[in-house]
Amino acid sequence: MNAIELRGITKTFGRTVAVDALDLAIPHGAVYGFIGPNGSGKTTTLRMIMNIIFPDRGEIRLLGAPLSSATKDRLGYLPEERGLYKNMRVRDLLKFYADLKNGKDIDAEIDYWFARLEMAGWAKMKVNELSKGMSQKVQFLATIVARPELLILDEPFSGLDPVNTEALKDAVLEIQRRGTTVLFSTHDMHMAEKLCDFIFMIHEGRKVLDGTLSAIQDRYGSDILRVRTEEGAAALTGLSKIEKINDFGNLQELRVAPGCDPQVVLREILARTKVYGFDIVKPSLEDIFVRIAGPQARPATAAGEQENA
């Protein structure tokens, strides 16, 4: 059973098409990463899934049922911009939010997560006494204490320090192990690579990537050459069939043109300088992202026909 199914979802604001005929199927129990540049329609899509705004066209099914307000009790939603009542105490606030979801055994769950996320002693604090990072953790807890079956997180890790990011990432994985499906949007490509079973990217309202990380990387081919040479980047300028050079100082990454044989490139470099290392690697998610959404984006031919995972 799919936890989320979108069919032909379209949403326009005035003349802007925010989301254009979007299809998506998220299998039950998966961690699905949702990436895309700013303004690509991520938040709009998540809000439509949450039934906060309504699509102009298309169908949304959640947890096997058509979208309805009753389904909302089974969802946890962390919006991109956080909102907590400043004058409430942390425990009262968490209970209030969980109660709105008809959550059961809320106190036990709150105590469990307080211990798990090292938040002991926060219960009686008022929200306006918390630091930014602390209130973000509270907001995350508010999203999960009602034990949602489907967790939707809009930029859950933005603004967190590495320790808290790690703690929250572990929490997300624990929730997944309990059987919750997780859909989260992020700008952090490394986090998406580490955490997600599937990755899904939209650009200008359209889906451009959808699949497992390795499937996506395979589709983009092994067209990255990681090179270490005696003379470094200076020796590599002007090579034929090279689309882009990323200079990391000690090593350079070269992106070769489609259909070009890496052996030809290697021979060409050897003719110029000594080669200490030469690797043919898959492109990183970040690299793929930049290729699709960057200023010199290729026409989305390679990304156009994605199979559904």
Interface with another protein in residues 53-72 (CB under 8 A): 53, 69, 72
- Cross-strand bridge partners of residue 184: 33, 153
Stretch of 49-57, 160-168, 181-189, 288-296 lying at the interface with another protein (CB under 8 A)? 49-57
Closest approach of Cβ 5 to another protein, in Å?
19
Residue 181 is a binding residue for another protein (CB under 8 A): no
Residue 264 is a binding residue for another protein (CB under 8 A): no
The helix (run of H) or strand (run of E) holding residue 6 is strand 2-13
Task: Identify whether the C-beta of residue 281 lies closer than 8 Å to the C-beta of residue 222.
Answer: yes
- CA 200/CA 202 separation, integer angstroms: 7
Q: Name which position in 27, 37, 58, 79 contacts another protein (CB under 8 A).
A: 79
Residue 88 is a binding residue for another protein (CB under 8 A): yes
Q: How far is CA 42 from the centre of its chain?
A: 10
Question: What letter represents residue 274's amino acid?
Answer: K
Interface with another protein: number of residues (CB under 8 A): 27
Phi and psi for 23 in degrees, rounded to 5?
A: -115, 140
Closest CA to 202 of 300, 79, 81: 300
Q: How far is CA 89 from the centre of its chain?
A: 31
Residue 87 is a binding residue for another protein (CB under 8 A): yes
Q: Name which position in 11, 91, 101, 137 contacts another protein (CB under 8 A).
A: 101
Residue 74 is a binding residue for another protein (CB under 8 A): no
Q: Name which position in 40, 71, 139, 181 contacts another protein (CB under 8 A).
A: 139
Closest approach of Cβ 143 to another protein, in Å?
8
Residue 282 is a binding residue for another protein (CB under 8 A): no
Closest approach of Cβ 264 to another protein, in Å?
53
Residue 104 is a binding residue for another protein (CB under 8 A): no
Nearer of residues 85 and 248 to another protein, judged by Cβ: 85
Residue 128 is a binding residue for another protein (CB under 8 A): no
Closest CA to 277 of 214, 226, 242, 239: 226
Residue 96 is a binding residue for another protein (CB under 8 A): yes
Task: Identify whether the C-beta of residue 283 lies closer than 8 Å to the C-beta of residue 291.
Answer: yes
Residue 199 is a binding residue for another protein (CB under 8 A): no
Residue 112 is a binding residue for another protein (CB under 8 A): no
Instruction: Name the H helices within 236-275.
Output: 262-270
Nearer of residues 98 and 199 to another protein, judged by Cβ: 98
Beta strands in 179-239 (DSSP E): 181-185, 198-203, 206-211, 224-229
What angle do helix axes 162-177 and 106-116 make, rounded to 10 degrees? 140
Q: How far apart are the first and last CA of the chain?
A: 13
- Name the site residues for another protein (rule: CB under 8 A): 47, 50, 52-53, 69, 72-73, 75-77, 79, 81-88, 96-97, 99-102, 139, 142
